[in-house]
Amino acid sequence: MFIVENYHFAVLLCIVTMFCWGSWGNTQKLAAKNWRYELFYWDYVVGILLFSIVLGFTLGSVGEGGRSFIPDLQQAGKSNILSALIGGVVFNAANILLSASISLAGMAVAFPLGVGIALVLGVVVNYFTAPKGDPVLLFLGVALVMVAVVLNGVAAGKKKKSDTAAQSNKKGILLAMLAGVLMAFFYRFVAAAMDLENFEQPAAGMLTPYSAFFIFSTGIFLSNFVFNTLVMKKPFEGAPVTYNEYFKGQFTTHLVGVLGGLIWALGTSLSYIAAGKAGAAISYALGQGAPMIAALWGVFIWKEFKEASKLTNLLLLCMFLLFLSGLMFIVLSGGN
């Protein structure tokens, strides 16, 4: 299987993760013109599962290092399979809430708030479970990101809206916060199933990043029959949607959702592949710089703050600067 050999290349992969995690929401925005997010989300999940299968039979099956995809699945221990599956279930619950938040409050609000909270809590969970990197620099970076999240929440509250839009925005903010708390824990379940210390000769029963990502994706797909079906019947806003509406969707509309899943899956798989050299906490933290990318899309492409005041724009600028500074300290923490 393909294995990352040095820290700097691992950081590069984590930066790609950041761009993927911060950009998949654009596909939801594109589909939203004629497609409810609950329907979009099914295609998104299918895209994730398809990518995990293709990745396993390509990068997960080449080279002489480590175990290839199928043999690794065959030898996997039950507890590690369960851990990766639980990671998928936890992530899916969080991501459905985040998708709902995007539809209600926009990318520039949902991502920085939800994923920013996930970053702060997730780094703490991942670091104390598998310490790697300079804790002073790492947590200084996390603290700067936390301040950036607070500034984003303040900026979101200052947007001018109608009463109906204001209610939707508040609901979106609450959903983003709940999504962030849940999302902080999914990565740890998957990382615990892998032998992060030795991808070359992983311990018996433990998983490689490729098999772990496939099982994780399976957990997302299976849990979607419960979570998304529930949200379709009892949506956070609007009328219920049906599976009949989903199957009547245009082929191109379905492809947009699948593309969103492929983009997210690429980023997530690279994060797991990089975790062996970068460490789970640093790999997770760098990927969770995604809110900055999503906010850039929301502000400059989707014009979600086009009527914002000078104070709001100043808050957004400070948010971007703090996010960049925080990510810089997180990168430096692993180079010591």
173-226 pLDDT per residue, tens: 889 889 989 988 888 899 899 988 888 888 999 999 999 999 999 999 999 999
Please tell me whether residue 306 adopts helix, strand or coil conformation. coil
64 occurs within a structural domain: yes
Interatomic CA distance for residues 95 and 115, integer angstroms? 10
Report residue 33's pLDDT band, with 50, 70 and 90 as the boundaries.
confident
Paired with 207 in beta bridges are 194
- In the chain the first and final C-alpha atoms are separated, in Å, by 28
User: In sequence order, what are the residues at sequence separation of 6 or more whose Cβ sits closer than 8 angstroms to the Cβ of residue 152?
Assistant: 108, 109, 112, 113, 116, 291, 295, 315, 316, 319
Spatial separation of the C-alpha atoms in residues 220 and 223, rounded to whole Å: 5
Q: How far apart are CA 214 and CA 161, in angstroms?
A: 42
pLDDT tens profile 79-107: 999 999 999 999 999 989 988 887 787 76
88 domain residue, yes or no: yes
**253 or 162, higher pLDDT:** 253
CB 196 within 8 A of CB 64: no
Judge contact between 130 and 275, C-beta under 8 A.
Answer: no
Q: Per-residue pLDDT averaged across 46-58, rounded?
A: 97
Mean pLDDT of 291-308: 75
Whether 75 has a pLDDT exceeding 60, the answer reads yes
The number of beta carbons lying within 10 Å of the beta carbon of residue 48 is: 30
Question: Per-residue pLDDT for 336 more than 60?
Answer: no
Q: Report the SS3 class of residue 302.
A: coil
Classify residue 1: in a domain, yes or no: no
Domains held by the chain: number: 1
The pLDDT of residue 240 is 95
How many Cβ atoms from other residues are within 10 Å of residue 182's Cβ?
21
Domain presence at residue 246: yes
Q: What is the DSSP letter of 336?
A: -
What is the average per-residue pLDDT within 57-67?
88
Arithmetic mean of pLDDT over the chain: 86
Residue with token string 């492929």:
262
* Structure tokens given for 268: 């997530």
Residues near 295 by beta carbon (within 8 Å), at least 6 away in sequence: 107, 108, 111, 112, 152, 316, 319, 320
Running DSSP on this structure, what letter comes out for residue 309? -
The Cβ of residue 125 has, within 10 Å, a number of other Cβ atoms equal to: 17
State the residue range of the domain holding 145: 7-334
At residue 326 the predicted structure's pLDDT band, cuts being 50, 70 and 90, is confident
pLDDT at 163 over 60: no
Range in 38-52, 123-137, 161-175 with the lowest mean pLDDT: 161-175
Task: Determine, yes or no, domain membership for 119.
Answer: yes
- % of the chain beyond a pLDDT of 70: 94
**Size (the chain), residues:** 336
Residue 285 lies in a domain: yes
- Please say whether the beta carbons of 213 and 269 come within 8 A: yes
- Report yes or no: 80 and 207 within 8 Å, Cβ to Cβ: yes
Token digits of residue 269: 């798989």
Pairwise CA distance, residues 222 & 89, whole Å? 8
Q: What percent of the chain has pLDDT over 90?
A: 39
pLDDT at position 157, please? Answer: 65
